[in-house]
């Protein structure tokens, strides 16, 4: 494999054992735990000036903190997204500054591209011919795009509920598209069944491949550089499986360990009331979630009833003095429309859960007034224009 100098291999989050990344490709061979890329941080020589001297053109500008070299990467120059000032939202929240990290500007319109560029690079280096995953929609679209670029076949399992754009674009990218009746759990079951029959398929599933959260670290690196090395007081993230949240938490620890920053932001998980296992775990003081029996929200990207990495998500929240919040679908849709009308930015409903959640936190006095808050717009609104438009229609507009 064409790995970077400081990358030492994979470490199990559960049993702590280390594995060679050439041989071990997915979960822990000993205990089936989540594997996490590890580095020799002493060997990483990265300072603010070095980073500033590089063009802000893709997430691979942080190559030293990623497993693979930029040169070997399957990339479409994803990342390097804008951090947009939102003064009206800051007024609404009663804080000094609110910025939206606009991940809608990625190649397939969501931050899922950051995970897939690294995971599909790994797949190629492991000699895979086929990649496969179940997804609420955006990850499947991203995977089929990167697989196409890498010359790999992709097998994507989407629930019937996922949006038209996701389904259409998996086809357009040449993926083998499987629409499964029901929700994400049904799509995952169909995927597992197919995987049993095809042992040559390389899984790109969340926290099954060790590389998706690794790619998402770069959102945090970018935010801090874009704020001229000021660590934001809070980061509010629409949380499903928590890949992005865990990635950013890892990144925040790394920047601190490398001496590039000296603080951690408070991480907030925003969920929809119809599927809020992290909020429930936090409120009942548990270290792990309990699966939601009947998930029901219009926010497909965060309708994840059984987030396997919940202990890590909860650690990120507790260790940074953050929190978790759930709001109702109508409030989430209204937040998306308000941001579109007053700030101009186009947020998908799933993403607007982070805005709606931040408003709810502000209502409950979570902020003092002098904060800088970053909200992740994980995906573009125009993929789900129909859902946003029907919210307006439901109000007679
Ligand atoms: C997948 C997705 C999420 C949730 O991401 P996790 O990292 O699994 O929590 C949020 N927003 C959008 C637009 C997504 O596609
Ligand atoms: Zn293990």
**Residue 47 C-alpha to ligand 1 middle, in angstroms?**
31
For residue 26, the ligand closest to its alpha carbon is 2
Q: What is the pLDDT of residue 397?
A: 84
**Residue 378 C-alpha to ligand 1 middle, in angstroms?**
7
Ligand 1 contact, 110 CB (< 6 A): yes
- Nearest residue (by CA) to ligand 1, atom 1, is 301
- Nearest residue (by CA) to ligand 1, atom 8, is 241
Ligand 1 contact, 239 CB (< 6 A): yes
Residue 138 in contact with residue 108, Cβ under 8 Å? yes
- Minimum-distance ligand 1 atom for the alpha carbon of 103: 13
Ligand 1 contact, 380 CB (< 6 A): no
Q: pTM, whole model, 2 decimals?
A: 0.98
Q: What is the pLDDT of residue 57?
A: 97
Ligand 1 contact, 144 CB (< 6 A): no
Ligand 1 contact, 302 CB (< 6 A): yes
Ligand 1 contact, 9 CB (< 6 A): no
User: Burial code of 362-377, b = ≥16 C-beta within 10 A, e = fewer?
Assistant: beeebbeeebbbbbbb
Q: pLDDT tens digits, the chain, 397 residues: what are they?
A: 899 999 999 999 999 999 999 999 999 999 999 999 999 999 999 999 999 999 999 999 999 999 999 999 999 999 999 999 999 999 999 999 999 999 999 999 999 999 999 999 999 999 999 999 999 999 999 999 999 999 999 999 999 999 999 999 999 999 999 999 999 999 999 999 999 999 999 999 999 999 999 999 999 999 999 999 999 999 999 999 999 999 999 999 999 999 999 999 999 999 999 999 999 999 999 999 999 999 999 999 999 999 999 999 999 999 999 999 999 999 999 999 999 999 999 999 999 999 999 999 999 999 999 999 999 999 999 999 999 999 999 988 8
For residue 30, the ligand closest to its alpha carbon is 2
Domains of the chain and any CATH numbers: 83-110+212-394 (3.40.50.1100), 112-203 (3.40.50.1100)
- Minimum-distance ligand 1 atom for the alpha carbon of 241: 8
- Nearest residue (by CA) to ligand 1, atom 5, is 240
Question: Residue 71 class from Cβ within 10 Å (0-12 exposed, 13-18 middle, 19+ buried)?
Answer: exposed
**Residue 16 C-alpha to ligand 2 middle, in angstroms?**
6
- Minimum-distance ligand 1 atom for the alpha carbon of 307: 8
Ligand 1 contact, 141 CB (< 6 A): no
Q: What is the pLDDT of residue 330?
A: 97
Using alpha carbons only, what angle is made at residue 301 by residues 106 and 264, rounded to the nearest 5 degrees?
A: 70
The closest of 367, 138, 380, 369 to 268, measured between CA atoms, is: 367
C-alpha distances in Å from residue 190, one per residue of 159, 181, 241: 10, 10, 19
**Residue 38 C-alpha to ligand 2 middle, in angstroms?**
14
Ligand 1 contact, 265 CB (< 6 A): no
Counting ligand 1 atoms within 8 A of each CB, the residue from 109, 138, 188 with the most, and so the one to mutate, is 138
- Minimum-distance ligand 1 atom for the alpha carbon of 242: 9
**Residue 90 C-alpha to ligand 1 middle, in angstroms?**
24
- Minimum-distance ligand 1 atom for the alpha carbon of 351: 11
């Amino acid at each position: 494999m064409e790995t970077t100098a400081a990358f030492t291999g994979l470490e199990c989050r559960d049993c702590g054992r280390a594995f060679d990344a050439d041989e071990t490709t997915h979960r822990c061979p000993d205990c089936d735990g989540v594997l996490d890329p590890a580095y020799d941080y002493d060997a990483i020589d990265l300072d603010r000036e070095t980073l500033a001297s590089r063009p802000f053109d893709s997430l691979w500008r942080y190559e030293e903190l990623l497993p693979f070299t930029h040169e070997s990467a399957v990339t479409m120059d994803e990342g390097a997204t804008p951090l947009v000032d939102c003064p009206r939202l800051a007024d609404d929240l009663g804080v000094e500054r609110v910025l939206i990290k606009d991940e809608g500007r990625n190649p397939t319109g969501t931050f899922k591209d950051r995970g897939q560029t690294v995971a599909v690079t790994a797949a190629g280096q492991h000699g895979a011919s086929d990649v496969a995953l179940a997804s609420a929609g955006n990850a499947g679209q991203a995977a089929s795009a990167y697989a196409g670029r890498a010359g790999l076949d992709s097998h994507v399992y989407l629930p019937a509920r996922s949006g038209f754009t996701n389904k259409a674009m998996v086809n357009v990218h040449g993926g083998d598209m499987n629409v499964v009746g029901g929700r994400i759990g049904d799509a995952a079951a169909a995927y597992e069944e197919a995987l049993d029959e095809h042992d040559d398929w390389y899984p790109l599933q969340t926290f099954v491949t060790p590389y998706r959260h690794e790619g998402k670290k770069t959102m945090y690196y970018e935010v801090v550089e874009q704020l001229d090395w000021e660590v934001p007081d809070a980061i509010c993230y629409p949380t499903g499986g928590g890949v992005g949240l865990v990635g950013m938490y890892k990144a925040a620890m790394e920047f601190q360990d490398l001496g590039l920053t000296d603080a951690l932001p408070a991480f907030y998980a925003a969920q929809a009331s119809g599927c809020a296992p992290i909020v429930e775990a936090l409120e009942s003081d548990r270290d792990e979630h309990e699966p939601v029996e009947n998930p029901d929200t219009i926010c497909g990207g965060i309708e994840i009833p059984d987030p396997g990495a919940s202990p890590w998500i909860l650690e990120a929240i507790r260790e940074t003095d953050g929190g978790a919040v759930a709001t109702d679908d109508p409030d989430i849709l209204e937040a998306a429309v308000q941001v579109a009308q007053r700030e101009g930015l186009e947020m998908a409903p799933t993403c607007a859960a982070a805005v709606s959640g931040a408003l709810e936190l502000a209502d409950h006095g979570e902020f003092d007034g002098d904060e800088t808050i970053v909200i992740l717009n994980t995906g573009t609104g125009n993929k789900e224009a129909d859902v946003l438009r029907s919210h307006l229609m439901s109000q007679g507009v």
